[in-house]
Amino acid sequence: MSDEGTGGPRAVAVAAVEAQVARVPLEQATAFATRRVTARDYVLVTVTGDDGVTGHGFCYAGSSGGEVVRTAVTELLAGVLLGRDPFLVERIWQEMYQEALLHGRTGSVMRAISALDIALWDRNARAVGLPLHRMLGGYRAETVPAYASGGYYLQDKTPEDLGAELAAYVESGFRAVKMKTGRFSPAEEEARVAAARSAVGGDVLLMLDANNAWSDLPGALRTMERLAPYDPFWIEEPFSPDDVDNHARLARATPVPVATGEIEAGRWRHKELLEKEAAAVLQTDAAVCGGITEFRRIAATAASHGVPVAPHWFHDLHAHLVAATPNCTYVEFFPDDRVLNFRRLVDTQLEVRDGELVLPQTPGLGFGFDPDALERYTVPGSAATASAA
């Protein structure tokens, strides 16, 4: 029996899979607690059905790893999609995962799976004429809560400059903001957080992102003891993503909720975070974890544990998922393109209203890749197409 079902002839099949690498430089080098970024590689995927309907997917591939992910898309995984009914998303996901078992169940290969899965969902929503958030079931209909993400380390940036930046986000309507921490000494970090709290006031949620700053529990506690009095809403990624046990120990030792999961892939690693109580908030990223299909499984598992999900990055994508998922709380929104410069690649930007993101009402994700931007930023020789015979 065909896996395409028995309800009559197949109406549509995947005819082509295209992928390319866009490398977008940062106008100003930006630092986190543990690394410095000068450019970002994004892998952009388009899946086209033989009905002519296309869908877009994408992922972040670091500062120079785009070609690795692009190769996984076109050489390893595209053949799983070609000729298949694009509405068999779950079946295609499982076969992509099986195809990739020997090459990596996390990292670049899972990001390639994520990009293709996102493209399928986008294509299918466009095919039926629905915004993606409604295609996924719909929970919020018009807007979704968001926090303004920033507070990066820049050369000569003072605590007062940091406070002014975050205060500007609040003045524009956001009631939650996020800043980086963990790069400097505990005393210096306290000065930064104190300035931020003073600038935004006591009623605004202030998230802290450490980006894997600490390697041991005593070091983390030493800083957190100084930061806790400023009422952080969470401390994000305090340790390496592989150090699940220390996340759990810190969660037991500090009153500040621990948030993590943005680099995790697959439901099984997220299950470990939940079972060990290593995360009070999951930050699952659909462009990392295995796409929209796997994101939904992870969010449902988190709901069974009473844990909220606040997805990482890519507000253009995650606005739809937060809108469709009851235990998703916030979209991470970047007010400018200085750090998350993916927005330079798309032709439509999300509207902000009173600190919330207005949901697109056009089919699919609600945006496309901007042709002029692709011409400017595509890495020469990185574009490839796989087509059905």
Q: Which residues are catalytic?
A: 180, 312
The answer to whether 280 and 307 are in contact (CB under 8 A) is yes
How many CB atoms within 10 Å of residue 82? 16
The alpha helices in 7-144, defined as continuous H runs, are 66-71, 78-81, 89-99, 107-128, 132-135
Under DSSP, is residue 2 helix (H, G, I), strand (E, B) or coil?
coil
Long-range contacts of 99-104 (CB under 8 A, 24+ apart): 100/72, 100/76, 103/72, 103/76
DSSP 211-233: SS--SSHHHHHHHHHHHGGG--S
- Cα dihedral 155→158→163→164 (10° resolution): -70
- Cα dihedral 253→257→258→259 (10° resolution): 180
Quote the longest CA-to-CA distance of the chain: 69
DSSP 290-342: THHHHHHHHHHHHHHTT--B---S-HHHHHHHHHH-TTB--EEE-SSSSS-GG
CA dist., res. 367 & res. 192, Å (int): 37
Q: For the packed helices 291-304 and 89-99, what is the interaxial angle rounded to 10 degrees?
A: 100
Enumerate residues 6+ apart whose C-beta is below 8 A from 9.
none
Q: For the packed helices 159-171 and 186-200, what is the interaxial angle rounded to 10 degrees?
A: 30
CA dist., res. 17 & res. 379, Å (int): 18
* Residue 62, phi then psi, degrees to nearest 5: 80, -160
